[in-house]
Each structure stands twice: as C-alpha cells, then as structure tokens.
Amino acid sequence: MNTENNLPQNDQEIDLGVLFKKVSIIINTFIIKVFSFFKSNGKTLLFIFLIGTVIGFLLDAKLKSYVSEIIVNTNHTGNEYLYSKVKQLNSQIQLKENSFENKINYDNFSKIEIEPIIDIYNFVNNQALANNAQNSQNFEMIKLLSENSDINKVIKDEITSKNFYFQKINIYSAKKISYKETKSILNFLNKDVYFDSIKNLKLENINRRIIENDSIIKQIDLLITSYKNSLERNSNPLIKSENSEIGQLISQKRDLLNQIAQDRLDLISQTKLIKDNTIVLNSINNKGLANKSKLIVPIFLLFIFFIYKIMLNLNNRLKSISK
C-alpha cells in the first residue's frame, strides 16, 4: 500500500525534475545563441553603433532645439488671463499666423508653454496678501484637496498650479532668439483694453493715496513740532497729558510711511499686466527627445539590424522546412 501511495509523489518529483531540466536547457541554449550572435556580428554591431552615433551628433548639431524662459507674475488680472493668452499665442504659433500688429514673427518659434513655479510656502504665506484672508483660504484649499489624495498630485493639479504667484513661460525655438523677440511676446501678453483700464485706474489711485498720505504726514509733523515747542515753553500738566495722543500720532505717521513705501514699490512692480522678473535666453532644450539624436539614432539602427536578422533567420527556417 505504501509503495502505491508513494508512486504519485515520485511521478511529481520526476515531472518537476524534467521541467527544470528543460527550462535549464532552453536558458542555456538562448545564452549560447545570444553569445554566438554577438560573436559573429560584433564588428557589424560596433560599426552600426558608431555610424549611428556620428549621424546622431550631426543631427543634434544641425537640428538644435532651444528654450528661453521668462519668469512672470500677474497684476490686476489673475493667472487665468495669463494661461488663456499663452494658449492663444501658442495656437497662432502652430498655425504660423504672423502678427504684424504685435510685430511677432512666429516662424522663429516652435512652441510656447506655461508652467507654475511651485512654492507652497509662498502660496500660503504671501506677504503681498498678508492683510487679507487670501492666505488662509489658500491654506484651507490645499488642506481640503489633499485629504483624499496625494499632496504632490494636488500641487501639480492644473487648478492648483494656476494659483501659484510665479509662473514660467517656456519659448521653444529651432534657432536662437533675441531679447527683442521675447519682448514682442510680452507686449502681446500685456495687451488688453479692459485690464489696461483697470491697471491705469489702480495706479492713479495709488498715486493719489501717496499724495494724500504725504500731506497727512506733514500735518502730523506740524502737530508734533507745535507740541514740542509748547512743552519747552512751560511744564503745564495738561500739555504733558497729551503724551498718549502724540504717541498715537507718531504711530500713525509710521503706518503712513510704511504705506507710502509699499505704494511706491507697487508703482514700480504693477506697471504691467504681466510683469517679467527674469529672462533666460536660448538654453539647450533637453526635454523629451530633443537633442538626443546621438542616443536615438544608434539604438534605432541596431533595432532595425536585429529585426532584419530575426526575419532572415525565420526565412531560412521556413525554407528548410519546405524542403
């Protein structure tokens, strides 16, 4: 009985042993064939690789791709306006609709894109928004969106990315472009009748506020001078009791000076709808497959050679079978 019960187990062990042996033979055969292939075709493969590399270098030298970057922020508009203008401009570039009105020669450009400069800390602690509730709203939005998904995906999401303060415009070109050409693009982005009128009105209000605050500061200075002179003439306790009011005036003057300083900065930084902060021209574009022909061409030629050898081998086998 025991002998009969052991037979199936022995059969299974034999089957597994045969299977492992066959797999081992197949692997060894494959390794030998690969080794034989490289041994018999080594010089040809090396020649193809070198030829492909040379061709790739020549193509990269002739078909160079450049990218120029402009770091911008929006004033008076919002980033949605910027994204829509870039989309419109990219459509015109793809259609090669040269704009004589904006003096843009689209033949010099191949594509234009926009992407956010991700800065979460600045997003929730923007000093320019310190006096309103926008910072806390941004924080709550990030917190809410990240509760049910990955925070990195939330940050890179299109809706979130449009809300970052700084944005980067990438201008792709086959040739080097000039600073003047980037300015023509910025002029196009800044051209909007409606937002221009809002910008001009806001700048007028800032100028008016500076003049008014400056006038108030002069009045405060007169009051402080008058108080100082009165204090020097006599030591009336009623005059001394006005110390707290003078302290309030000094504090008000300090606040007004800070407001004037901020307003003057705004007059400089908000003169454009799209403010260019940094422009970097004609960096080598290494995104995607750009400027990678030296790698792509030899790999492609080797792939074609492998396919040719496989087809040739299959053809020889079919001929031998037919005989």
Q: For residue 134, what pLDDT band results from cuts at 50, 70 and 90?
A: low
At residue 45, does pLDDT exceed 90? Answer: no
Q: Is 175 left (phi over 0), alpha (psi -120 to 50) or beta?
A: beta
Each domain of the chain, given as residue ranges in start order, spans 2-62+292-322, 66-191+274-284, 199-269
Name the helix (H) or strand (E) containing 275.
strand 274-284
Q: Distance (Å, rounded) from C-alpha 243 to C-alpha 233?
A: 16
Q: Which of 141, 149, 110 is nearest to 124 (CA)?
A: 141
Look over the chain and give the mean of its residue pLDDT values, rounded to a whole number: 80
Most confident of 35-44, 137-146, 190-199, 280-289: 190-199
Residue with tokens 């990955």: 150
Q: What is the pLDDT of residues 156-196, one digit of tens each?
A: 666 777 888 899 999 999 888 989 999 989 999 999 999 99
Whole-structure pTM value: 0.69
Residue 277's pLDDT is what? 92
Residue 224's pLDDT is what? 83
Residue 164's pLDDT is what? 85
Q: Distance (Å, rounded) from C-alpha 89 to C-alpha 82?
A: 11
Q: Which of 288, 281, 290 is nearest to 170 (CA)?
A: 281
Residue 231's pLDDT is what? 67
> What DSSP state is assigned to residue 128?
G
Q: What is the pLDDT of residues 72-88, one digit of tens each?
A: 999 988 889 999 999 99
Structure-model confidence comparison of residues 195 and 290, the more confident one: 195
Provide the angle, in degrees to the nearest 10, between the axes of the packed helices 79-95 and 179-189: 120
Q: What is the pLDDT of residues 95-116, one digit of tens each?
A: 876 554 556 777 788 899 999 9
Q: Distance (Å, rounded) from C-alpha 40 to C-alpha 34?
A: 10
Task: Please write down the HEC assignment for all residues of 90-126.
Answer: HHHHHHCCCECCCCECHHHCCEEEEEECCCHHHHHCC
Q: For residue 16, what pLDDT band results from cuts at 50, 70 and 90?
A: low
Q: What distances in angstroms separate CA 301 from CA 32, 180, 288, one per listed residue?
A: 24, 42, 20
At residue 8, does pLDDT exceed 70? Answer: no
Residue 165's pLDDT is what? 87
Give the end-to-end CA distance of the chain in Å, rounded to a whole number: 54
Structure-model confidence comparison of residues 64 and 9, the more confident one: 64
Q: What distances in angstroms separate CA 68 from CA 65, 128, 172, 184, 206, one per listed residue?
A: 10, 28, 7, 14, 34
Structure-model confidence comparison of residues 243 and 203, the more confident one: 203
Per-residue exposure over 150-164, b if at least 16 CB sit within 10 Å of its own CB, e if not: eeeebbeeeebbeeb
Backbone phi, psi, residue 271, to 5°: -75, -15
